[in-house]
Amino acid sequence: MNDTTDDITTIFNAETKKLIQTGTIPSYIPIAVFKCFVKMAISVMPEAEVNNFVRTINWIMEKRHANFYSNEKKLLVRYKMIPWF
């Protein structure tokens, strides 16, 4: 039995009863990295503010790494360096 999905190939050898998967996967998932940063931000915010981020917390806990926004547009992250901060 052989099966190919995206870049991963699965081969089952009936004689040896072994399942072999080969392929390449990305070293990280960008949206998962962003979820990590959001989780860290929520963990240090004042406890009184956490109730305002229930939807965000639910999004972090989802196993599927989907865009938080329903329009599925690419996420644009901007940052500004603040001296002495």
Q: Give the tens place of pLDDT for each residue, 10-59.
A: 888 888 889 888 887 777 788 888 899 999 999 999 999 999 999 899 99
Predicted local distance difference test score (pLDDT) of residue 42: 93
DSSP 79: -
What's the one-letter identity of residue 71? N
Predicted local distance difference test score (pLDDT) of residue 57: 93
pLDDT over 70 (residue 72) = no
pLDDT over 60 (residue 1) = no
- The whole-angstrom separation of Cα 50 and Cα 44 is 10
- The whole-angstrom separation of Cα 51 and Cα 39 is 14
Please answer whether residues 21 and 9 qualify as being in contact, where contact means their C-beta atoms are separated by less than 8 angstroms: yes
Look at the pTM and tell me if it is higher than 0.75: no
pLDDT band, very low/low/confident/very high, at 70 (cuts 50, 70, 90): low
Q: Which burial class, exposed, middle or buried, applies to 56 when counting CB atoms under 10 A from its CB (0-12, 13-18, 19+)? A: middle
